[in-house]
Structure 1
Amino acid sequence: MGGDSPSRRVRADAERSTARILEAAEAVLAVDANASLERIADAAGLARATVHRRFSSRIALLDALAEQLSERYVAGLSQAKVKTAPPLFALRRLTEMVFDLKVSHRFAVQLTAALTPAVLDGLDLLFVRLRDAGAITAVDPSWCRRVYLALLHEVNDLPAGSPALAATADEIEARVDLLVRTTLGALGGTPDGSALSLTD
């Protein structure tokens, strides 16, 4: 017999509703961080009861947004091949992905809960590999990660057209370049990355 079972259809409907709620929450909370679940339900085009059924509280919704972003960070670490790619290439690729996430998840990126142990471990591994390759001299990977994340926040907050950003048609590319160069310089490497090529 063909067709999905009723329970499978219900699950699929629930997954679609959850995705709509999270997408609406990201958009609404990016504009008003104190927006109510009711406003999020309206933006999602769903009944308030549906939102309350999926997320019993605002905290549960924020936890779901953080978990979703954490999964994307972990996927980014995997796509950047932080374990196997040349470390400068991995740093640059990961930075590109993170800036893309900052654009698409303007609210969720503020949630520290998204920086799970898996994300932190992946970043630490990258900085260990950068040190082992001679791209940086700083020895404590957790310190390197904290410097990188702090600089990421500052570079992201630079206004468009800032003199700190290179004049280029691609603003994200200019931010990536600035963050990579500044991170390397702050951690004892050469800001232009000349000590190590992207393929080393």
Structure 2
Amino acid sequence: MTEQAGLTGQESARPAGRARRADAERTVQAILEAAERVLSADPSASMEQIATAAGVARTTVHRRFATRDVLIDELTAWAAQRFGEAVRRGRPETAPPLVALYQVTANVLEVKIGWGFAMSRTSAADSQVAGVHTGVREQCDRLFLRARDAGLFRPDVDLDWARRVYYALIHEAAQQPEPTDTDTLATLVVNTLLRGIGASGGL
């Protein structure tokens, strides 16, 4: 009986532990999302302002993030993860090149617009963030190579130059002053790119 009771206690403790971890993860996500909103509007905003926007006590924010700089670094890393996932969801290495180019563009714009403050930070010193950006660049290079091989780009196109132009177009699209849906912006970016380097001059 004692052994069975002990096992039952352990089994009941596991769901409780998972629930606490899930609550903690939700709290961290709420703080990071609030930090993005608040810092986008006011880059000098305090931890207290972020806590208020997140609907938690300031002590809760300090318990999760020791300093404001730590919070911003974590926000940058969080956004970088979303960025990497956005590119992977576009299936840049398996989908038909034009489909992948459009979907990756739409996904990336969603992150760039939704996490503008975090994505604008220079974070090469963070190896995790730098690794995400390196991986994205490599996937983009392979997608552009596939696009050229498939006849989507002209055969004489400098792919390094094409990637830099593509990045610049995405950056400009994400800075649109008027709200525009990401599908429309993605079409604009891809069409502009193909008019410059495409074999057929656009969509």
2:75 matches 1:58: no
Q: In the alignment, is the contact (CA less than 8 A) between 1:160 and 1:171 conserved in 2?
A: no
Q: Pick the aligned partner of 2:146 from 108, 120, 129.
A: 129
Q: Which residue does the alignment assign to 2:165?
A: 147
2:12 matches 1:3: yes
Q: In the alignment, is the contact (CA less than 8 A) between 1:28 and 1:43 conserved in 2?
A: yes
Deviations 1:129-156 (A, max 9, x none): 1122222236554432221111112223
Q: In the alignment, is the contact (CA less than 8 A) between 1:70 and 1:119 conserved in 2?
A: no
Deviations 1:53-92 (A, max 9, x none): 2122223222222222222222222221111111111000
Looking at structure 2, the residues matched to 14 and 55 of structure 1 have their Cα atoms a distance apart, in angstroms, of 13
Residues 191 and 29 (structure 1), Cα distance of their counterparts in 2 relative to 1, 3 Å cut: farther
Residues 135 and 45 (structure 1), Cα distance of their counterparts in 2 relative to 1, 3 Å cut: same
Rg larger in 1 or in 2?
Answer: 2
2:84 matches 1:67: no
5+ long unaligned stretches in structure 2: 1-7, 124-128
DSSP-derived class of the 2:116 partner: coil
| Paired residue type of 1:3 | S
State, as a whole percentage, how many aligned pairs show the same letter. Answer: 41
TM-score, normalised with respect to structure 1: 0.78
Deviations 1:24-78 (A, max 9, x none): 1111112112211221112112222221221222232222222222222222222
Looking at structure 2, the residues matched to 128 and 99 of structure 1 have their Cα atoms a distance apart, in angstroms, of 22
Q: Which residue does the alignment assign to 2:174?
A: 156
Q: Which residue does the alignment assign to 2:3?
A: none
DSSP-derived class of the 1:84 partner: coil
Looking at structure 2, the residues matched to 182 and 91 of structure 1 have their Cα atoms a distance apart, in angstroms, of 12
5+ long unaligned stretches in structure 1: 162-169, 194-200
Q: In the alignment, is the contact (CA less than 8 A) between 2:191 and 2:202 conserved in 1?
A: yes
Give how far 1:179 is off. Answer: 0.5
Looking at structure 2, the residues matched to 178 and 96 of structure 1 have their Cα atoms a distance apart, in angstroms, of 10
2:133 matches 1:116: yes
Residues 191 and 72 (structure 1), Cα distance of their counterparts in 2 relative to 1, 3 Å cut: farther
Looking at structure 1, the residues matched to 66 and 88 of structure 2 have their Cα atoms a distance apart, in angstroms, of 32
| Paired residue type of 1:120 | R
Q: Pick the aligned partner of 1:173 from 175, 183, 189.
A: 183
Looking at structure 1, the residues matched to 176 and 200 of structure 2 have their Cα atoms a distance apart, in angstroms, of 23
User: Which structure has more helix as a fraction of its residues?
Assistant: 2
**Which stretch of structure 1 is more off in the superposition, 180-189 or 89-98?**
180-189
RMSD value over aligned CA atoms?
2.5
Residues 48 and 123 (structure 1), Cα distance of their counterparts in 2 relative to 1, 3 Å cut: same
Residues 160 and 26 (structure 1), Cα distance of their counterparts in 2 relative to 1, 3 Å cut: closer
Residues matched between the structures, number: 185
